[in-house]
Structure 1
Amino acid sequence: MAYFRKRSNGKWTYTVSLGIDPLTKKQIQKTKSGFATKKDAV
């Protein structure tokens, strides 16, 4: 699952869920930001 949002500085960011870490049982997420448009982030 991925989440897209526009930051207060006008840039877009996305967060992707990569699943559950088998050792810690916590969710793993990857975040990247700095995109000019939502289309670029997708």
Structure 2
Amino acid sequence: MGPGRSPPPSLATSTEKAKEINNWSKLNKDFKMENFLKIIF
């Protein structure tokens, strides 16, 4: 396999991590909002 055939593993994992983090922050926001509403009502 020559260079430039596939992205380096670090790049691939960082992309996956970024997606993961994005998902987590979204989930976190929903979770916090839910708890916030539970506290109010």
The TM-score range, normalised by the shorter chain, is under 0.3
Structure whose CA Rg is larger: 2
TM-score by length of structure 2 reads: 0.19
TM-score by length of structure 1 reads: 0.19
Q: Which has the higher contact order (CA 8 A, sep 6+)?
A: 1
